[in-house]
Structures are given as C-alpha cells and as structure tokens.
C-alpha cells in the first residue's frame, strides 16, 4: 500500500486468506458477482436479497442464504451492502443493521448514493460504535464478476487497512478518497466524466461515419491520438474494434443507461447544493434521460450512438 492505494494480487494466494464471516446484503447485477468472489476467496458469506432468484444464484456460488438482514448480520465480522439508492441504504442501516450486527463488525456500503446520506449513515454507525466506510465501485458487471472492481473509499484513516483487506477479493484497486462521503463524491464525479466522455465518443463516431470515414479506421486513429480516452479504447460504441465492448452484443449487459442517468442526477443534485457549474454534466443528464424515456434504459449507455446516428431502428426490441 502506498498513499492510500493498493493493487491486490489476484493470483493463487488470493484464496488463502483467513476465513472471515461476511454478511452480504443486495445481490443484484453487481452484488451477486461481488458476493460470489467473497465466497470464492474462502470466506463464510451469509447473503440476503428480496429476490429469491438472486439468493439462489448466490447459494450456487457458495454463499449461505439468510432469511432476513438481521439473520445475515448477527454474527458478521464484515457487513457489505450493495443497494439501489440512498433511501434504501439509510433504512437498511438504521433499522436492520445497526444494533443487529456485532459492534465489532466493519460496515461497508458499496452502493452509489448521495454524499449527504453517506455521511448521515456514517454518523449513525459511529455513534453506535461501528467502523463504517462508503466504498462505491467502478467497473460494471464484468468487473464485479471478475473481482476487478475499483473501490473509492470514504472512511477514517485508521480504518482503511481493515477496509481494503475486506474488499480485496472483489478489487483490482482500492483508493481512500478521504473521510466519510469522499468515496461517494469520487464516484459521482468519475461517472459524470464517464457519461460526458461517452457522449463525446458517440458524437465523434457518428460524425466520422457521416463524413465517409470508416468508424473502425477512426478507432485506429482516435485510440492512438489526442482523442484517446477509456470510452474509445476500452468501450468503443461501434461493433468490432473492442471485442469485449457491449456494442458487440446489441448493447446488452455492461452499464445500463438508467444507471448512468441515476449517477448523473446525483452529480447534478450535488452540484446544485454546493454551487458548482457543470453545464456538460447537465446536458449529458438530459440526453441520457431522453434515451431512457424512449425505452432504452436497460441498454448499455454506449447505445447512445444509435440515437445520435438516427438509427434506433437498428437496435433489437428491448
């Protein structure tokens, strides 16, 4: 570890860690893969979700199904939550985790929520004697399944070593962003940047095509010149150049437009509260809201290319 950064070893030693009792709450598209990696690392994972199907998948991956949040956390050394939004996080922690989990348990919320709620939950947890961290993730479902997520952590500095050790089976890199709420701040800003850069990439690809330039040839150029960015080199919205990109799967899987829209709304709400000027973030929110509103919220956000091309008819039915 150096300066709050760590690149864990995902080799053979990863499965040799001391077994830890982990409660994992929230087994959706992201949480399911994350819980599975904790079980794969040799930990005892008590898992809970309102979805019976999600619980079945977790059990198949080596977790033990719990009948409630309270049952999952009662003997936990680490509690990890991956929930849809701030109100869910506040309700689950205030009503079902704090007081039910041992006071020695480390509480980690990996949901993406607003900074204010993250700090409120941290305050409730600290008042009850718990160590708590907001630890939202970047990397999408593929990284959740592979155990290669990036974690942005907000916690007390003295708790960080314990936090990164708990996250290691799911992590490619873990960075302490600062005190409580800083992890959420980092995630919101990062995803606003990602949403804007993907729109810029989509616009450039659509323009290249209109000008008679082969979009695959444009990839060769942009990926090696000043237009290079993650949206180009790792997630190109045109099929072909990046085989793992959702553009090769009719924009299925990956990072849903509705989830990007959620993060952009969080960014705009945060900007309004602190007086920051984010005109490109506001425009990005409006465009993703339009795409979501016409029925494509479940598609990967790089499918925005087809709307900008005027080729929505090329998308298969949702």
Q: Which residues are catalytic?
A: 187
Q: How far apart are CA 266 and CA 283, in angstroms?
A: 14
**Number of Cβ atoms within 10 Å of the Cβ of 137:** 23
Q: Which two tokens stand for residue 252?
A: 């299925």
Using the CB atoms, write b or e for 219-242: b if 16+ within 10 Å: beebbeeeeebebbbebbbbbebb
E strands present in the chain:
5-6, 21-25, 44-48, 64-65, 78-81, 106-109, 131-134, 137-138, 149-154, 171-178
Mode of pairing for the β-strands spanning 44-48 and 21-25: parallel
Q: How far apart are CA 240 and CA 5, in angstroms?
A: 34
């Amino acid at each position: 570890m150096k300066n709050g950064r760590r690149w864990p070893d995902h080799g053979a030693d990863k499965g040799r860690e001391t077994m830890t009792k982990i409660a994992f709450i929230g087994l959706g598209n992201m949480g399911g893969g994350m819980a599975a990696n904790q079980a794969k690392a040799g930990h005892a994972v008590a898992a809970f979700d309102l979805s019976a199907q999600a619980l079945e998948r977790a059990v198949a991956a080596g977790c033990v199904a719990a009948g409630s949040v309270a049952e999952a956390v009662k003997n936990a050394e680490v509690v990890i939550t991956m929930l849809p939004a701030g109100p869910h996080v506040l309700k689950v922690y205030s009503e079902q985790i704090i007081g039910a989990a041992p006071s020695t348990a480390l509480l980690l919320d990996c949901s993406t929520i607003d900074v204010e709620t993250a700090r409120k939950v941290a305050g409730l947890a600290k008042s009850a004697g718990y160590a708590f961290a907001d630890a939202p993730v970047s990397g999408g479902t593929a990284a959740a399944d592979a155990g290669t997520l990036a974690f942005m952590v907000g916690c007390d500095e003295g708790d960080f070593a314990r936090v990164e050790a708990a996250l290691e089976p799911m992590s490619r890199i873990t960075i302490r962003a600062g005190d409580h709420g800083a992890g959420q701040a980092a995630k919101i800003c990062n995803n606003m940047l990602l949403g804007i850069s993907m729109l810029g990439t989509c616009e450039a690809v659509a323009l290249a095509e209109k000008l008679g330039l082969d979009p695959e040839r444009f990839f060769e150029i942009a990926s090696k010149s000043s237009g290079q960015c993650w949206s180009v080199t790792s997630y190109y919205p045109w099929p072909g150049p990046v085989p793992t990109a959702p553009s090769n799967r009719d924009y299925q899987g990956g990072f849903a437009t509705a989830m990007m829209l959620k993060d952009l709304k969080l960014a705009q709400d945060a900007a309004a509260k602190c007086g920051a000027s984010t005109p490109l973030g506001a425009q990005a929110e409006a465009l993703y809201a339009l795409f979501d509103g016409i029925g494509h919220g479940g598609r990967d956000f790089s499918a925005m290319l087809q709307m900008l091309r005027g080729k929505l008819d090329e998308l298969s039915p949702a």
